[in-house]
Amino acid sequence: MALHPSSQTSATMERVLVVLLLLLLLSLLSPSRPDPDLLLDYCVADLAAQTFHLNGRPCIDPTVARSAHFATSALSEPSVASSAALFGFSVTTTNATTLPGANAQGLAMSRVDIVGGGLVPPHAHPRASEAALLLRGALLVGFADTSHRLYAQQLRPGDTFLFPRGLVHFLYNLDPTTPAVVLSGFNSQNPGAQLASTTLFRSDPRFPEEVLKKAFKISGQDVQRIQRNLGG
């Protein structure tokens, strides 16, 4: 039996409303949303508050904020990291501990030191885009998009390169003897970093060997050799 025109219109409107509500819900739950905007001028991190978890740190009373909360020397020296021995790079990143005034501002900075011939291997930042400014040295940098197209560029001191959020990218020191220094800015307080090689071959627990064999068209011996080479 055919529906009355008014009944058809009502059913169509109900479907439209359901779709709109689903789209609204997805937008609210989307993990790719930027960091939330502040409702205050600033939110200096209260490092003593450890009783509950927030998306960031709770704020101290603004009346007790000091100039020192908005300054840091954390990037003045390179860090000592295990990646320095493995790949030839180390990263020093600001956070709520080293720069409390940056809490909830939706940004972070990193100093990247790369030894001569060193490599920051293919990796991604799931929560941020990265603008990398080369301060010293000579680099080859690049990223691949979801169409597998590679965008690569040689950088000289003073050059900047942008890595879009979530896309796999690398930084390679072209000079075999001279170290390179990069200053990077991120549009997230916690951009995250996931190195492709160590994620796949040094996860805990391990990725199933059969999965790695099929994904890379290699043998079980190859999987074990790569794991050993990566310190696993």
Known binding-site residue numbers for Mn(2+): 123, 125, 130, 169
User: Which helix (H) or strand (E) element contains residue 24?
Assistant: helix 5-29
CA-to-CA separations, 91 to 87, 158, 182, 202, in angstroms, rounded = 12, 19, 9, 19
Q: Among 83, 38, 79, which Cα is nearest to 62's? A: 38
* Residue-wise DSSP of 40-78: SS---B-TT--SS-BSB-PBPPGGG--GGGG---TTSS-
Helix locations, 61-219, DSSP H? 82-86, 196-201, 209-216
Question: Per the structure block, which two tokens stand in for 25?
Answer: 């819900």
Indicate if the alpha-carbon torsion angle 13, 15, 16, 21 is positive or negative.
Answer: positive
Q: How far is CA 129 from the centre of its chain?
A: 7
The SS3 call for residue 128 is coil
Q: Which residues are annotated as a binding site for oxalate?
A: 125, 130
User: Which helix (H) or strand (E) element contains residue 97?
Assistant: none
Q: Which residues are annotated as a binding site?
A: 123, 125, 130, 169
To which residue do tokens 């959020």 refer?
165
